């Protein structure tokens, strides 16, 4: 594993009807949904560090803090930019900025943890046997 501070990521999407607050249940308006903003940030973050992880390793999101300050209408492109700001063992902290074509719409921090994919999924699947 060679994840270091300074690694940057980027992900973009066009706001479509299925990415609105109304469609995902986070509000009644047809504007870019905060849960979709979070998903875009996670995409930018995990894809930026994945090339630095070993075979069979991945990362999972464990914390997300944001300010989603301005609305984005359907049809605009939204871009999330992330940067690793801290590496503490298996924990990675990112800062992020999200913008649409008119400017910044959100900022915050995101945290991910390194996992062994197979072990992680086995632990997850064990939950099915506890019912």
Question: Residue 18 pLDDT more than 70?
Answer: yes
Confidence of residue 57 (pLDDT cuts 50, 70, 90): very high
Q: pTM of the entire structure?
A: 0.95
Q: Cα(first)–Cα(last) distance of the chain, in Å?
A: 36
DSSP codes, 52-109 = GSPTTEEEEEEEEEEEE-S--BTT-EEEEEEEEEEEETTEEEEEEEEEETTEEEEEEE
To the nearest whole number, what is the mean pLDDT of the chain?
97
| pLDDT band of 1, cuts 50, 70, 90 | low
Indicate the pLDDT class of residue 129, thresholds 50, 70 and 90.
confident
């Amino acid at each position: 594993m060679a994840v270091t501070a300074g690694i940057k990521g980027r992900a973009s999407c066009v706001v479509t009807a299925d990415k609105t607050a109304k469609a995902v249940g986070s509000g009644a308006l047809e504007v870019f949904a905060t849960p979709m903003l979070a998903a875009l940030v996670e995409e930018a973050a995990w894809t930026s560090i994945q090339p630095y992880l070993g075979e069979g390793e991945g990362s999972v999101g464990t914390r997300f803090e944001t300010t989603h300050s301005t609305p984005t209408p359907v049809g605009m492109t939204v871009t999330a930019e992330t940067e690793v700001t801290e590496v503490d063992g298996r924990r990675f902290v990112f800062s992020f900025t999200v913008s649409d074509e008119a400017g910044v719409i959100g900022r915050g921090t995101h945290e991910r943890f390194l996992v062994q994919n197979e072990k992680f999924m086995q632990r997850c699947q064990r939950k099915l046997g506890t019912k």
